[in-house]
Amino acid sequence: MSTISKLLCAAASTAMLAASPSLADTSDARIALSNNYAGNSWRQAMLETWDDVTGAAVEAGTVAAADAFTTSENQATEQAAQIQNMILQGYDAIVVNAASPTALNGAVKEACDAGIIVVSFDGIVTEPCAWRIAVDFKQMGRDQVEYLATRYPDGGNLLEIRGLAGVFVDDEISAGIHEAVEGSNFTIVGSVHGDWAQDVAQKAVAGILPSLPELTAVVTQGGDGFGAAQAIAATDRDMPTIVMGNRQDELAWWAEQKAANGYETTSLSVAPGMSTLAFWVAQQILDGAEVPKELSVPFLTIQQDGLDEALANTPEGSVANVSYSLDDAMAAIEAAR
């Protein structure tokens, strides 16, 4: 059983064992995924996991369709139009990874008014009619600083690499980092946007490095650790502790450095497969289950002693990941009650 599956099952009460099975037939139901961005390995893994799990569900006759759509640009207006098109196409449920927590609310409300179930995840929406599967992204930020505090009790200088500007996830992780820094001996001496992509992060870090003092560590958001390492390695600076984001190239670099010089760090991110949890939650709502509007999912953390196993299980070019089953979804629902 995956780490996240264990956490979900542990969180669910024993009442889950008595949870009723399907209450209605969803074999004719059509579910769509509205995704705002696919420009990094996390989003690609998210879409691949969605296809794998939902493809099997369609083949088994659990649902009639589970189509995935991604906008060409990370623009809320384009995604709103995409959702409106899904309404016209008559989908029974829409699973959304949103470009904005608020800018899609109008389109989401239109879907709800048309009788369509809307489940948001990762990039959630605030429209009350929608369901939300959220990660405590602020805690992800706080955890990075708290880890570094155990390594460097006297603090030091931090470089912050942020994600896509204006996106809820970026704002929340950054807020958590800054909250933790306020109560520590660390100082953020620079901040750049890496857009959750290694190439963008590498260029951004290379551009700011000449203006920075010596760095103790780099706090990140995922998809940027290896790029930061490459940029710093091209200088004569000592390599700081870079918090990684579960990408395979990050884990491979970490393993190489660990073998060469005992390099230590930690890695954390949301499992891309949370899209499949959203799928099963939508299916359960269509099936008549009573599902709380707010559900949570833990993030996946890789520590020093778990690096080798995580790397061995992560395909090249991808991200450490888990997919979710119907049982996982039932456990998450029960835990939220």
pLDDT in tens, the chain (337 residues): 444 444 444 443 333 333 344 445 899 999 999 999 898 889 999 999 999 999 999 999 999 999 999 998 889 999 999 999 999 999 999 999 999 999 999 999 999 999 999 999 999 999 999 999 988 999 999 999 999 999 999 999 999 999 988 888 899 999 999 999 998 999 999 999 999 999 999 999 999 999 999 999 999 999 899 999 999 999 999 999 999 999 999 999 999 999 999 999 999 999 999 999 999 999 999 999 999 999 988 889 999 999 999 999 999 999 999 999 999 999 999 999 8
Q: How far apart are CA 184 and CA 287, in angstroms?
A: 48
- Residue 33 contacts residue 67 (beta carbons within 8 Å): yes
113: its two tokens: 């008014």
Amino acid (one-letter) located at 60: A
Distant-in-sequence, close-in-space partners of 183: CB < 8 Å, separation ≥ 6: none
- C-alpha span between 66 and 282 (Å, rounded): 11
Residue 42 near residue 299 (C-beta atoms within 8 A): no
Predicted TM-score of the model (pTM): 0.82
* Residue 2 DSSP SS3: coil
Nearest to 268 by CA among 229, 312, 238, 224: 224
What residue ranges of the chain are covered by domains with CATH 3.40.50.2300?
A: 27-135+271-299+321-336, 137-269
Tokens for 151, please give them.
Answer: 């390594």
| Region at 74 (left for phi over 0; alpha for psi -120 to 50; beta for the rest) | beta
* 3-state secondary structure string across 134-201: ECCHHHHHHHHHHHHHHHCCCCEEEEEEECCCCCHHHHHHHHHHHHHHHCCCEEEEEEEECCCCHHHH
Question: Hey, what CATH topology would domain 27-135+271-299+321-336 get?
Answer: Rossmann fold (3.40.50)
Strand residues in 213-291 grouped as ranges (E): 217-219, 241-242, 267-269
**Which CATH fold would you assign to the domain 137-269?**
Rossmann fold (3.40.50)
Whole-angstrom CA distances from 267 to 148, 178, 301, 310 are: 12, 19, 6, 10
